[in-house]
Structure 1
Amino acid sequence: MKAIVTVIGKDRVGITASVCSLLAQHNINILDITQTVLQEFFTMVMLVDTSACQKSIGDLAGILEQAGQEQGLSIRIQREDIFNAMHRI
């Protein structure tokens, strides 16, 4: 299943590395990634493939949310089909 991961927080060294490492630990493949810094805020959006992951999307959401809180970031995951439905005009 494909999903969208968003990361937002105050910019600092190592955000991309830590999030990508966490995803790799759960066998989540990054298919596409974009990131930018808006003034002092880091933003990243990733399209990922969770088909090799043993965790449910709900479990992943909890893991990412906890990791984000520990790092002072907002890290969210959402199924691609739900993300697309929410952003369709």
Structure 2
Amino acid sequence: MKTDRFVITVIGVDTVGIVAGVTSVMSDYGVNIIDIRQTLMEDIFTMLMIGEVKSENFVLKDFQEKMAEVGGEFKVEIRVQHEDVFRYMHRI
């Protein structure tokens, strides 16, 4: 079975339920949290996660759209990038 990893970033003004909203979508899509970092700087919320999915039926675009929808609900920006794309974009 194919395994894919993703970098998920969340940033915006802190409000109740952001983590629950994001992780609920991850659970619905079968995405496991491999690593997670979260910081609150005054009222600015930031979270960085590495997620992994082991499913041949997983559609990244659908997952990205659902995460963007949740981001809209909480007024935060959520980005989901395949780990390979993220690493390529941030290499020196």
**What's the TM-score once normalised by structure 1's chain length?**
0.90
Task: Indicate the residue corresponding to 1:77 in structure 2.
Answer: 80
Counterparts of 1:19 and 1:70 in 2: how far apart (Å)?
11
Task: Indicate the residue corresponding to 1:32 in structure 2.
Answer: 35
Structure 2: gaps spanning 5 or more residues: none
1:68 aligns with 2:68: no
Residue-pair matches, total: 89
- Cα deviation, residue 63, structure 1: 1.0
**Pairs within 5 Å for 1:2-21:** 2-21=5-24
Verify the 8 A CA contact 2:5 2:53 in the aligned structure 1.
Answer: yes
Counterparts of 1:75 and 1:47 in 2: how far apart (Å)?
13
Task: Indicate the residue corresponding to 1:56 in structure 2.
Answer: 59
Structure 1: gaps spanning 5 or more residues: none
Which stretch shows the higher mean deviation, 76-85 or 58-67? 58-67
SS at 1:54's partner residue?
coil
Task: Indicate the residue corresponding to 2:25 in structure 1.
Answer: 22
1:43 aligns with 2:46: yes
- Cα deviation, residue 51, structure 1: 2.2
- Cα deviation, residue 50, structure 1: 2.1
Verify the 8 A CA contact 2:36 2:47 in the aligned structure 1.
Answer: yes
Give the root-mean-square deviation of aligned CA atoms: 1.4
Aligned-partner residue type, residue 33 of structure 1: I
